[in-house]
C-alpha cells in the first residue's frame, strides 16, 4: 500500500487548523462522530457503518480525506494494529457542528440544590501536596499500594471532593479495595500531572514540577485539571462521551440551572443515545455532574418534576481552551491577616507560592473561601528542624501581613525558634533542587502555548487509574494511504470501465460488476434510459446473480434487489474522487 506522511507534499493541511469538510467526507465524519465519539475504532468497525447512499469505496475515500485533514487521528498499538479516533479538540468542534442544544433548557422553575460546588480540585490537590511534603512522601507496601495509615490521613484531609462524588465514575485501577474513590482520584491526578513520582518503596514529590505548578494561577490549574479529568475519567461508551463533551460547548450557559433530562432527550432524538440506553446514560450523567460539583466546577440539583439539573460555576469551554499566560506577576500579592490568637487568615486570592511557604511554619485549621492557619510551638519547631527557621518565618509574615504582626506573636515565634534550634537533631535537610527530578509538567504547559495536545503518544500519562491503557501503548501514526490503494489493479483495467456508460458482452459485464464488488465500489447502471446507482454486496453463480442495494439517483433510501445479466443495458464503475494531498 502506498503511504505518505502529513507534510510530505506541498499543500498539505496545517495540523493545528480544524478543517470542516463537505460532501461525502462530512457525511462520513458525522456517522463516525455519532457512532464512536472519541472512542478508538478499527477499520472493521468503520466498514460496519451504514452511510446511505455511499458505497464502501466512497466511505473509505472520504475517510482517507478526513485522515489527511487531521480530523481523524491514527495510532498503532503494541501489536502494530491501527486504531482511529476523533481527537478531543475535533470532537468538541463537532458537537457544535452536528448537534443543536435543546431550546429553553435553561428555564427552570423552583430548582432544588442537591450538591453545592466544593472548594475546588486545585485546593484539594494542594492539601495532598502539603501532606506529602510534611511526610517526605508516601510509603508503599510490598503490593505497591500506599500504607493504610497514610491513606487514612489522606481521607481525613479537608478536601471538597467526597467519596460519593467520585463513586460510579468508572475508575479502573487494580487496588480498588485499598483506595477510596476520592483518594484514588487525588493520587491519580498528582501522578498524571507529574507532581509526584514513584521511587522504590515510596511516592515522592517532584519538586521541580510542584514549584512550576504553584506558579500557575488557580484558573490555569483548574484548566489543566479539567482537561486531565476529561481525558481520564468517565465511562468510555460513545453516548457517555457525547454527553460530557456537549457540556463543554461554548454556548452552554454559566450560572444558570440547566435541564439535563431535556439535553438527553434531544440527544436521543439525534441518534446519539439509543432509547434502550437512555436510563443508563441518565444515571451516568447524574454521576458525572456530581463529580463536577465535588471538583468545584458546578452545582447539581433537581427540578420540581425530578429532572436532573446542573449549574456551572465556570465554563467547560473556557477550561478546555484557556490561553496560556506567559508572564505572571512577580510581586506575589496576597495579604495575610495575622491575629493576636496566633491564627492567620488567608484570603482566597492569595498565591499558592505564598500559601506553600506558610504551610511550612503554620498548621491548617479550617477553610472554605477564607482559609485559617495557626502558628504554634510545634509548627515553628517542625519548620526549624526542616531548615525554615525564625528569620524566614518572620520575613514571610512581614512581607505579606496586611496589618502587621502583633508584637507578642513575634516574641513567641522567636522564643519557639531559639528553643527548637537548641534541640534540633543533626539531620541533613534535603532541598527541593537536590531531588534532581526533571519537570514533566512542561508538556502540559505547552497546551496553553498553542502546541498540539497529541504528540508522540496517545497514551495518557501513567497514574493510579487506567482507561485508554487497556488498548496498549498507542503511538501516533501520521501515515495516510494513497487513494489508489483502495482500488488494487486499477491500472490494469480498461479506462472505459470507470469513465463512461457502455454496453458490454455478458461476460465482460460480470467482470466489471465483480471488480466493483472487490473494490466495494458502486455501479451506475442504465436501462430504458433510466440511470440508477447500484452497490453490489454478494454474488452467486449458477445462475449468476448479484445482490445489492439499488438507489434511484439522488435518493438515499435503497431497495435490496437481485440483478442478473438482463437487468441493465449499460454500466460503469463509480469511483470516488481520488483522495490525495493535491486534491484536498
The pLDDT tens digits for 435-447 are 445 555 555 555 4
Strand 112-115 versus strand 298-302 pairing type: antiparallel
Residue 44 CB partners (closer than 8 Å, separation 6+): none
Task: Please provide the DSSP assignment of 379-441 as one string.
Answer: HHHHHHHTT--HHHHHHHHHHHBTT---HHHHHHHHHHHHHHHHH--------GGGG-PPP-S
Cell numbers for 567: 437487468
Confidence grade of residue 325 (pLDDT, cut at 50, 70, 90): low
Identify the pLDDT of residue 432: 41
260 within 8 A of 285, measured Cβ to Cβ: yes
- pLDDT over threshold 60, residue 24: yes
- pLDDT over threshold 80, residue 179: yes
Hey, which of 314-323, 354-363, 435-444 has the most confident mean pLDDT? 354-363
Confidence grade of residue 425 (pLDDT, cut at 50, 70, 90): confident
The strand order across the sheet containing 202-205 reads 138-139, 202-205, 196-199
> Which pTM does this prediction carry?
0.86
Distance, CA of 261 to CA of 282 (rounded, Å):
7
- pLDDT over threshold 90, residue 563: yes
Does the domain formed by 3-103+474-481 have CATH 1.10.10.10?
Answer: yes
In the chain, ranges of CATH 1.10.10.10 domains: 3-103+474-481
Residue 310 CB partners (closer than 8 Å, separation 6+): 247, 257, 258, 260, 289, 292, 298, 299, 300, 301
Distance, CA of 253 to CA of 406 (rounded, Å):
47
Least confident window among 11-15, 56-60, 466-470 = 11-15
Report the percentage of the chain scoring pLDDT > 70: 86
Least confident window among 122-131, 169-178, 212-221, 339-348 = 169-178
Q: Tens of pLDDT along 489-543?
A: 999 999 999 999 999 999 999 999 999 999 999 999 999 999 999 999 999 998 9
- pLDDT over threshold 80, residue 556: yes
Confidence grade of residue 483 (pLDDT, cut at 50, 70, 90): confident
Residue 164: burial class (beta carbons within 10 Å; 0-12, 13-18, 19+): middle
Nearest to 281 by CA among 260, 305, 312, 309: 260
The strand order across the sheet containing 559-563 reads 559-563, 545-552, 530-540, 522-527, 570-574
- pLDDT over threshold 60, residue 329: no
Confidence grade of residue 434 (pLDDT, cut at 50, 70, 90): very low
Strands of 343-388 (E only): list them: 343-346, 363-367, 371-374
- pLDDT over threshold 80, residue 569: yes
34 within 8 A of 51, measured Cβ to Cβ: no
Amino acid at each position: 500500500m502506498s503511504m505518505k506522511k502529513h507534510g510530505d507534499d506541498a499543500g498539505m493541511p496545517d495540523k493545528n487548523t480544524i478543517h470542516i469538510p463537505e460532501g461525502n467526507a462530512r457525511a462520513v465524519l458525522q456517522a463516525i462522530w455519532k457512532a464512536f465519539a472519541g472512542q478508538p475504532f478499527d477499520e472493521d468497525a468503520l466498514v460496519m457503518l451504514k452511510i446511505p447512499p455511499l458505497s464502501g469505496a466512497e466511505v473509505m475515500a472520504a475517510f482517507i480525506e478526513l485522515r489527511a485533514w487531521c480530523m481523524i487521528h491514527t495510532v498503532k498499538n503494541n501489536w502494530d494494529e491501527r486504531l482511529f479516533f476523533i481527537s478531543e479538540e475535533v470532537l468538541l468542534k463537532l458537537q457544535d457542528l452536528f448537534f443543536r442544544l435543546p431550546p429553553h433548557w435553561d428555564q427552570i422553575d423552583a430548582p432544588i440544590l442537591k450538591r453545592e460546588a466544593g472548594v475546588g480540585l486545585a485546593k484539594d490537590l494542594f492539601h495532598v501536596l502539603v501532606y506529602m511534603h510534611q511526610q517526605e512522601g508516601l510509603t508503599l507496601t510490598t503490593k505497591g499500594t500506599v500504607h493504610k495509615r497514610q491513606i487514612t490521613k489522606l481521607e481525613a484531609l479537608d478536601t471538597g471532593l467526597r467519596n460519593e462524588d467520585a463513586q460510579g465514575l468508572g475508575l479502573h485501577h487494580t487496588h480498588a479495595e485499598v483506595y477510596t474513590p476520592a483518594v484514588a482520584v487525588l493520587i491519580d491526578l498528582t501522578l498524571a500531572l507529574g507532581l509526584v513520582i514513584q521511587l522504590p518503596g515510596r511516592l515522592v514529590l517532584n519538586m521541580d514540577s510542584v514549584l512550576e505548578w504553584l506558579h500557575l494561577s488557580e484558573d490555569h490549574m483548574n484548566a489543566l485539571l479539567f482537561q486531565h479529568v476529561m481525558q481520564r475519567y468517565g465511562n468510555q461508551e460513545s453516548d457517555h462521551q457525547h454527553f460530557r463533551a456537549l457540556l463543554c460547548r461554548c454556548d452552554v450557559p454559566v450560572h444558570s440551572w440547566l435541564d439535563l433530562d431535556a439535553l438527553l432527550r434531544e440527544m436521543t432524538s439525534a441518534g446519539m443515545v439509543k432509547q434502550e440506553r437512555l436510563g443508563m446514560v441518565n444515571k451516568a450523567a447524574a454521576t458525572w455532574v456530581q463529580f463536577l460539583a465535588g471538583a468545584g466546577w458546578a452545582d447539581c440539583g433537581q427540578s420540581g418534576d425530578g429532572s436532573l439539573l446542573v449549574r456551572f460555576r465556570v465554563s467547560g469551554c473556557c477550561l478546555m481552551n484557556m490561553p496560556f499566560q506567559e508572564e505572571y506577576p512577580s510581586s506575589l500579592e496576597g495579604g495575610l491577616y495575622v491575629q493576636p490568637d496566633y491564627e492567620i487568615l488567608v484570603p482566597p486570592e492569595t498565591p499558592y507560592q505564598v500559601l506553600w511557604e506558610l504551610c511550612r511554619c503554620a498548621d491548617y485549621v479550617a477553610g472554605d473561601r477564607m482559609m485559617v492557619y495557626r502558628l504554634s510551638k510545634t509548627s515553628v519547631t517542625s519548620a526549624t528542624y526542616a531548615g525554615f527557621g525564625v528569620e524566614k518565618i518572620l520575613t514571610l509574615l512581614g512581607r505579606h501581613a496586611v496589618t502587621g504582626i502583633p508584637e507578642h506573636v513575634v516574641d513567641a515565634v522567636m522564643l519557639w525558634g531559639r528553643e527548637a534550634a537548641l534541640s534540633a537533631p543533626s539531620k541533613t535537610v534535603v532541598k527541593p533542587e537536590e531531588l534532581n527530578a526533571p519537570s514533566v509538567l512542561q508538556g502540559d504547559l505547552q497546551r496553553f502555548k498553542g502546541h498540539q495536545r497529541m504528540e508522540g503518544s496517545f497514551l495518557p500519562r501513567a497514574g493510579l487509574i487506567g482507561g485508554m491503557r487497556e488498548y496498549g501503548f498507542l503511538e501516533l501514526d501520521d501515515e495516510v494511504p494513497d487513494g489508489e490503494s483502495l482500488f488494487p489493479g486499477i491500472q490494469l483495467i480498461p479506462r472505459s470501465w470507470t469513465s463512461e456508460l457502455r454496453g458490454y458482452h455478458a461476460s465482460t459485464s460480470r467482470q466489471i460488476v465483480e471488480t466493483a464488488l472487490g473494490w466495494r465500489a458502486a455501479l451506475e447502471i442504465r436501462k430504458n434510459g433510466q440511470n440508477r446507482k447500484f452497490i453490489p454486496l454478494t454474488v452467486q453463480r449458477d445462475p449468476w446473480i448479484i445482490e445489492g442495494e439499488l438507489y434511484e439517483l439522488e435518493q438515499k433510501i435503497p431497495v435490496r434487489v437481485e440483478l442478473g445479466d438482463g437487468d441493465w443495458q449499460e454500466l460503469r464503475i463509480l469511483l470516488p474522487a481520488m483522495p490525495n494531498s493535491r486534491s484536498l
